[in-house]
Amino acid sequence: MLFNSLSFLLSFFVFYLFYYYSSFRIRKLLLLFFGIYFYSRWGIGATFLLFGSIIFNYTIAIWMDKCSFGKRKQIFVLGIITNVLYLGVFKYFLFLWGMFSDVSVELGGQPFTWKLNLLLPIGISFYTFHNISYLIEVYDEKIKVCKNFLTFTLYDLFFPLLLLGPIERPGNLIPQFESNRTITKEQIWNGFFLFCFGVFIKSSIADPLSRYVEMNVNSFQTIEPGILWIIAPTIAFQVYADFFGYSLCAMGLAESMGFELMNNFKRPFFSSNPSEFWSKWHISLSTWLRDYVYIKLGGNRHGFIRENINLMLVWFLTGIWHGAGYGFIIWGVYLGICLVGYRFLKYVGFTKFQHLIFSSLGIFFTFITFSLGLLLFRITSPTDVYLIVENLMSFPKFEQIPYGLLLIIAPLLIFDLWQEWKDTNRPSFFHNQNPLQVTFIFVLGYIWFSLVSPFAKEDFFYFQF
């Protein structure tokens, strides 16, 4: 059930009528039931697995809270290892099994014929990271253990962020479920506008760009020379519009119910270097990896070389988190090298120039390196890397450039320019204006691009992760 589907709109409308006029206690139960209904539409088996994860982590945290330090650490390690194994079995078992089968054939043996029929539960990467961060913060005594099972269940089952995040921190989200929050008219309208604009950029920008990419890149062996210089930036805007659109929908739905989720994107394509870019792109994941992996490994406290080894390990894990495949691993290593390279230039003083020309060049090269990296998501074997490099040795002809794509991405660029000019920390609409002045335009745009759009609806890009 997609956010930009009629079935979700009707379901949420009925839910919201009951939610808005209910007491605090009833609202929590309504959130629980709607979360179960929403997630179960993606599979009953996945729903049981999610509840198994919820019960396990709730129990581990309670148990850990009651024990002395020595026992507490053992329980904590058990909880972390179990979560990692839970994610690993469902996400990486089939890839590793196939890889070992290929190795067996290369060594003269037989391929593995037995296969385990595993389906990847949607959202497993996000809610598993949710639970790991909860256990870490309870263990480090940054938050108190949540003893209310309903509240903890909502932490994992809150439907706006259940499928694709953002990966919220327990210290931010759990207290919001425990407080009786008054829903203001401003929150309702701003949530409505955020949701509508999220659906708009998903349906009218991400989906058409996705079709252009699929029509032009069936295989790296058959594409025209130089076409990847066009395809790579197109994929970058497709992924941005897709994931940013979902994040806006999630923020809008949450805000209309009185909750505040963290902002997952902050105009990343205006970044002048890789470090700045990753502080503005998928912020919930990058800060999660920084706080729970990079800093735990030592961060930058043990010298320049150790700092960059830690950084490469983090980006290797980032690639693995995104998916099981050669492309994801190579992508993570590639981005790690880009960041280490930038840090080396900064270390030797090359990045001290502050002129507008250098900043503009930095924005261009940061965007290009990120765009080219996204091509690695599509490779099926290490040999595809050679085909990508070979294609990039040529440049496209002028007649190959689809200038119409600029019209498609224009609304997103205009919105980001507007937000950059306002220098906002969170996307916002019309907080100090009469909402009725713009409601009609938003409703028309939403109806056209979501319900009667000539483009068929597609899954969100990050569903595969």
Residues noted as catalytic: 322
> What is the 8-class DSSP label of residue 302?
T
Q: Identify the DSSP state of 141.
A: T
Q: Cβ distance 408 to 208 under 8 Å?
A: yes
| Residue 439: partners with Cβ closer than 8 Å, 6 or more residues away | 192
Q: What is the 8-class DSSP label of residue 23?
A: -
Taking every pair of Cα atoms in the chain, the longest distance, rounded to a whole number of angstroms, is 73
Residues 6+ apart with CB under 8 A from 150: 28, 29, 32
CA distance 192 to 199: 11
d(CA 46, CA 124): 9
Sequential DSSP letters for 209-254: HHHHHHHH-S-TTTSPTTTHHHHHHHHHHHHHHHHHHHHHHHHHHH
Q: Cα separation of 307 and 119, whole Å?
A: 37
410: number of Cβ within 10 Å: 11
Nearest Cα to 140, choosing from 363, 306, 291?
A: 291
Burial class (CB in 10 A: 0-12, 13-18, 19+), 121: buried
By CB atoms closer than 10 A (0-12, 13-18, 19+), residue 461 is buried
Beta strands in 116-208, from DSSP E residues, in sequence order: none
**If you count DSSP H runs as helices and E runs as strands, how many of each does the chain have, helices first?**
19, 0
Q: Which two tokens stand for residue 231?
A: 């395809």
Q: Are 221 and 391 in contact (CB under 8 A)?
A: no
Residue 259 φ then ψ, to 5°: -110, 155
Q: Quote the Cα angle for 49-50-54, to 5°.
A: 115
Question: Considering only CA atoms, which of 195, 210, 36, 50 is closest in space to residue 122?
Answer: 50
- Of 114, 257, 139, 271, nearest to 195 (Cα)? 257
Rounded CA-CA distance 229/398 in Å is: 12
For the chain, percent helix, then strand, then coil, each to nearest 5? 70, 0, 30
